[in-house]
Amino acid sequence: MSNNKKSGGLGGIILGLGLFLGAFPLLFLNEGRAVQTARALDEGAGLVISLPAPTIEQANSGKLIHASGEVVTEDILQDQMFGISTNAIKLKRSVQMYQWEEVEEKRSEDKNPTYSYKKVWSSSTIDSGGFRQKGYNNPGSFRVEGQSQKAGIVTFGEFSLGGNLIDMIDFYSNLNVTDENLAAVSGSMKGLLHLIPNGYYLGKASGAPMIGDHKITFSQVRPHTMSLLAKQVGSTLTAYTTTNGTDILMIDDGVHTAESMFKAAHTRNTMLTWAIRVGGFFMMYIGLMMCMSPMLALTSFIPVLGRVVENAASLVAGILAFSFSFITAASAWVIYRPVLGVSLLAVGGAALFAIVSMVNKEKKTFAPPPTPNAGPTAPPPPLPGGGQG
């Protein structure tokens, strides 16, 4: 038993060390990506040509253009099994199944977790074979799977859109399913379905779902007005590559100016940058906590001491993770914006120095007083009466 615990602890330390070290390149590369993207967007915003309509002009060949207009298709997309037929750019069938889900509950004062079970709608199978308690069984597979399809020919004014741009068009709306669709259902599903909003219910009654029941719904991308930013190549549109090698290819629902589309792209870049920064910080924090897990395990048997040590370890890990994250990001900025990067490094280094100094000060505070140097032995005090008899 002890060997298993030791190997588990060692595995946790190795994993924690991997998380901690892996956060450094993630954070460093993220800053470079953010700067490169921002520069590419600024370059694109400075040379984009906005057209009053999506028309082909030979003078714009190879240039970054912007236009708003109708994206249309004449294709009819069909889901024959469920009687669906619609003129759309995309058609999607979504399926959910009613299943058992295991919920783990662990309280700090309990060594062993407890498990409860609830019924949920899920778009993927939940394997009940690994449940801790028996009697909660899910079907091993769906009776019908979800699927997506797209039109073969889609146009934007005078331009033809390639598959990559069609894939980017994901502005779905619900498809209304009627009794006429239900009557056209064919194959093994015929006679087994009930109408629900935007689709069908496969089961006895939608108001009282049972394990294994299915909800099958449909959504579509209808021809409508969109705005695009892309490079004109003949009668097609593709990604525009900036001088730093970054591709610009944007599509948005509705009418938008080129300025607003670039501004939105800058916002997305900032949000992604901060999401990765926060993710890198938590990678470091979790990694450090996992590396300290053996120490926490040793003190966990004494409730009061265990909580104190755990809180102290969490605080130290948080401070170190923040400091290392900050310094790593600042190091990347030295390459792309040296003045700002050096300034940030100075701030991060000063913060880390202050933390180390504070820890050393705390050590000295709790250290035992030094033993005085041994000097000449003092003579014993005289006996009462001078010590004479």
Nearest to 93 by CA among 221, 185, 218: 218
Task: Assess whether 212 and 82 both reside in one domain.
Answer: yes
d(CA 154, CA 126): 38
Classify residue 203 as left (phi > 0), alpha (psi -120 to 50) or beta: left
What the block records as the tokens of 41 is: 């967007």
Same domain, 80 and 215: yes
Q: Is the pTM of this model over 0.85?
A: no
| 63 domain residue, yes or no | no
Question: What type of residue sits at position 157?
Answer: G
81 and 216 both lie in a single domain: yes
Enumerate the β-bridge partners of residue 86.
77
Classify 191 in phi/psi space as left (phi over 0), alpha (psi -120 to 50) or beta: left
Same-domain status, 218 and 275: no
In-domain check, residue 377: no
Query: Using the 8-state DSSP alphabet, how is residue 60 labeled?
Result: G
Is 78 found in the same domain as 36? Answer: no
Domain count, the chain: 2
pLDDT, position 221: 96
Question: Residue 217: which of 143, 169, 146 has the closest Cα?
Answer: 146
By the 10 Å C-beta count (0-12 exposed, 13-18 middle, 19+ buried), 11 is classed as exposed
Beta-ladder partners of 252: 227
Please give the pLDDT value at position 238: 95
Supply the pLDDT for residue 5: 43
Looking at the structure, tell me whether residues 85 and 176 fall in a common domain: yes
Identify the bridge partners of residue 215 per DSSP, sorted by sequence position: 96, 201
CB atoms within 10 A of CB 93: 20
Reading the chain (389 residues) residue by residue, the pLDDT tens digits are 444 444 446 788 899 999 999 999 999 999 999 999 999 999 999 999 999 999 999 999 999 999 999 999 999 999 999 999 999 999 999 999 999 999 988 765 566 788 999 999 999 999 999 999 999 999 999 999 999 999 999 999 999 998 889 999 999 999 999 999 999 998 889 989 999 999 999 999 888 999 999 999 999 999 999 999 999 999 999 999 999 999 999 999 999 999 999 999 999 999 999 999 999 999 999 999 988 888 777 776 676 777 787 888 888 888 888 888 888 888 877 777 676 667 666 766 666 676 666 666 655 655 555 555 545 555 555 555 544 43
Q: Among 165, 192, 222, where does a domain finish?
A: 222
pLDDT at 114: 87
State in Å, rounded, how far the first CA of the chain is from the last one: 74
Are residues 164 and 84 part of one domain? yes
Residues 95, 29 share a domain? no
pLDDT at 298: 76
Residue 249: inside a domain, yes or no?
no
H helix intervals, 256-300: 258-291, 293-299
Same domain, 140 and 24: no
Please check whether residues 172 and 310 belong to one and the same domain: no
Whether residues 308 and 194 share a domain: the answer is no
**Same domain? 181 vs 84:** yes
Q: Is 114 part of a structural domain of the chain?
A: yes
Range of the domain at 304: 2-40+268-364
